[in-house]
Every structure is written in C-alpha cells, then in structure tokens.
Structure 1
Amino acid sequence: MGWFLVVTPLHQAAENGGLEWAAGAESSFGLPEEPPPVRQLPTVEQVLSAFREAGCHGTPWFQVTGHEVTADLPGCPNPARCASMGGLDLGEVTLGGVDGATRGEPAALNQAVTHIGFRKPSGLAVLAASVALASQAGPLLLLDDSGSCAFVVSPGDDPTNLAKHWPW
C-alpha cells in the first residue's frame, strides 16, 4: 500500500465540490471561507519549473514532447538515505488533466494541469514544491489518500509557518 498526496489549484477544487469535501476532513489548515476567483490552471512548464525551483527530485510518470523531464525533475541521488534525512524526494509523480499523459503519450509544456499526484513522497518535498508552485498558480489544495487531511498553500505563505502546521 502506498502513501499518496494530491495537489490541485484551490479554484479547481472549489468548482468541483472539493472545497466542501475538504472542509469535512478530520484535520485542515488554511481553508478559506469563500472560494478563490477562477484563474488559469498551471501549465506543465510551470509545474516543472516549481519542482526545479524547490530543488526537488523524483520519478516522473509522464513524458513531455521535446523536453527531457529529468532536467527539471532528476532522479533521487541517494534513495537509501533520502527519506531518513528529510530529503526532497517527490516520489512517483503524475500529472492530471494533461491529455494522454497518463496513457504514456507525451504532454506539451503549455498544457494545463488540473492536479499533481505524488506516490510515496517526502512530505517536506511536497511542501517545498507546493510553495514554489503557489507563487505561479495561486492557492493550492493538498489532500492525502485517506481523505483525513486537507491543507492549503497560498502565494506568499511563509514556509516556516506552514511547516509548523504541516501534517505530513
């Protein structure tokens, strides 16, 4: 059984009823009273840029046409020690909403991403990547596979403060 986190733009979650669902989680942090305004979804390029900016690594379960994904998301340099040292391993990374990306077909850098999945990640890596992506994509909702925790990361949030409340 693997541990899994999903990150989605908060406005996307609000449009699909996810905000109400998140409010019912056993534990939550940063959920707004009102849904945020609709904005453009992040692109594959923005997501990869956020991974690179955060210094994260992982295993991409997607391809991008004409782009070497491992330039932005390199493999883990030391899998045996990474998790025990609080490394920035995102685990196995999937992109949702990208036509064909989950069927093995390459995505385009300009394609919109509705959500990002992380299987067996370091929690600190997901926090770092989410802080970097929120600065480009707006508020993000993070959910775990059990549905027990919901967490919002917004542009300008202080990573040190977020870490104090971080459930993963």
Structure 2
Amino acid sequence: MSRHLVVAPLHAVVADGGLEWAAGAESSFGLPDEPPAAGELPTVGEVLSAFGEAGCHGVPWFQVGGHDVTRDLPGCPDPATCASTGGLDLGEVTLGVDGAAGDEPVELGQAVTDIGFRKPSGPAVLAAVVALASQAGPLLVVDDGGEHVFVVWPGDDPAHLATQWPW
C-alpha cells in the first residue's frame, strides 16, 4: 500500500497538462483519449458528504468553520483491528481548498482542488472516490511516487474497479 494517495478532479488535472503526464505512469487505468469537459470543483461539503456516504473514517487534518468535521469523518472505531478486518480507514486526510492557506479553517462551500490521504486503506480510498465521483465527475487518483494513475468515472462499477485497483 502506498503511504500517500492524492485525488483530484480529472478536468482540473488535464487543464495543467496532466493527461500526458498521467499516460506516462508505470500503470494507468481509466484514462480518456480526450480530456473531459471542464466542470465545477467539488465543495468541502460535498467531499465530507461522500466520506459519510462511503462509510469511511479517518483523521481530518483540516478544520471547517462552524462545522464539526468528525460528524462526517469520524475517528477509527477500532484502530487495533481496522486494517485486518477490511475497515474503511482513510488515514490522515488533507484538503487542498481553493483560496485557503495553511491551517486556517475552510468553509463548507469552498472548492476543493485535491484531497490527500496519508496511510490510508486502499479499499477506503476507492469507496470514498466512487462516492465523490458520482457528485464531482471523474477523479484521478495517483500515489506518492507517481507510478500508478487511476481514474474513477461516475457510474463505474465498484466491483470491477476493485479488481483493477492497485492499492
């Protein structure tokens, strides 16, 4: 398992020339031949909602003004056995938020440019990304070495994705 995964909306990655870079990764899955149309970035609220919908838990390394993040991203219920029992632990979660700097609290309506997961369970990240893709459009997932690139599209079959998922 990679120690760090990053998720970003595919349309934002390709706007910066990322499609060519992603195609050159050691392994890739779901990359389109043509860049997708530009779309809206998901909001902090949508990301948190996707975490809750997927049944994931983790440690938020961000604050949301006037909102208890642990309602949507609770701590691990059983750290001792979570990984061995297939728990959905996202690990330490960071949000790249458009217009936010450092560790200042963000707002639910702010746009999220990327999501970082440090020491996550692979199945947890897949569950969260599938849930978020249904709201935010195609999402690109890359590991910390840039060796594996994976795109999840809205409507993708999670069971099929799991057979290809490198993490």
Name the TM-score class by shorter chain. Answer: over 0.9
Contact 1:13 1:19 in 2 (8 A): yes
| Match in the other structure for 2:126 | 127
Q: Distance in 2 between matches of 1:48 and 1:164?
A: 26
Counterpart in 2 of 1:163? 162
CA contact (8 A) 1:50 1:129 kept: yes
1:158 partner letter:
D
Task: Please list every run of 5 or more consecutive structure 2 residues that lacks an aligned counterpart in the other structure.
Answer: none
Tell me how far 1:153 sits from its aligned partner. Answer: 0.3
Q: Does 1:50 align with 2:54?
A: no
- Residue in structure 2 matched with residue 83 of structure 1 by the alignment: 83
Aligned partner letter, 2:57: H
TM superposition score normalised by structure 2: 0.97
In angstroms, what is the RMSD of aligned CA positions? Answer: 1.0
Match of residue 27 from structure 1: 27
Q: 1:83 Cα deviation (Å)?
A: 1.1
Amino acid at match of 1:159: P
Matched-pair contact (CA < 8 Å) for 2:97–2:106: no
Q: % of aligned pairs identical?
A: 71
Gap runs ≥5 in structure 1? none
Counterpart check, 1:105 vs 2:104: yes
Secondary structure of the residue aligned to 2:93 is: strand
Three-state SS of the structure 1 residue aligned to 2:150 is strand
TM-score normalised by the chain length of structure 1: 0.96
Indicate conservation of the 8 Å contact 1:134/1:154, yes or no.
Answer: yes
